[in-house]
Structure 1
Amino acid sequence: MSVALRVLDDGAWLSVNDRRRVSVSELWRLPDSSFCRCALPDVVVEGFLETGVDGRTVETRVQGQCIACGHSDTTDWLPVGRIVDGEFRDLAREGGVVRLTR
């Protein structure tokens, strides 16, 4: 089964099977400190750069800025969802990367 992944609107949306599923207008709490020196970085996501699939896991790399220390950078590959029975399941609702609306 194939799944179409696209970055839309100049990096503003991650689309799965032609449906906008994840937006940059969110604050993400990253699970570790590989982004910056903060223990739990809270990052304002400014844009999606790449997307891919590792098995059933949908991953992305984003550009963002930590709201605590101001560090701006590109993340490593982050899991944002899972494909189960051809449908996208958001990992933020399953304990993955925590995304908080502004």
Structure 2
Amino acid sequence: MSVALRILDDGAWVSVNDDRRVSVSELWRFDDLDFCGCALPDLVVENFQQVGVDGRTVEARVYGQCIECGTKGETSWLPVGRIVDGAYHDLDRESVLRRTRVPCVSDRI
């Protein structure tokens, strides 16, 4: 079964099978020391840059700003949901998100 993933409205939404499921203006906490020097950055998500899948995990790279130190930039791949039996299920983005892929050189360009 295939699932259609798209970024809509100039990066404001992640669409799964033509339903808007994940939006910007959320606060995400994640563990990625490559983003900024904060132990657990709290990121205000401003824009979705890319969306993809890794197995059943729906993941995104987002642009945003850490509210602790002010660093702005793009994250590594972070999980936002899962596909189970063809249906999308949100992940709790208020918990600590852990990146889904190890960054490679092309991810940092």
TM-score, normalised to structure 1, is: 0.88
User: How far is the alpha carbon of 1:34 from its aligned partner?
Assistant: 2.7
Q: Are 1:57 and 2:57 counterparts?
A: yes
Structure 2: gaps spanning 5 or more residues: 99-109
TM-score, normalised to structure 2, is: 0.83
- In structure 2, the residue matched to 1:71 is 71
Counterpart amino acid of residue 62 in structure 1: V
* Pair 1:96–1:67, CA change in 2 (3 A): closer
Distance 1:22 1:2 in 2: 19
Counterpart amino acid of residue 6 in structure 1: R
The two structures, once aligned, show a CA RMSD in angstroms of 1.9
- In structure 2, the residue matched to 1:15 is 15
Structure 1: gaps spanning 5 or more residues: none
Contact 1:50 1:60 in 2 (8 A): yes
Contact 1:80 1:96 in 2 (8 A): no
- The runs of at least 4 aligned residues of structure 1 exceeding 6 Å deviation read none
The secondary structure found in structure 1 opposite 2:92 is helix
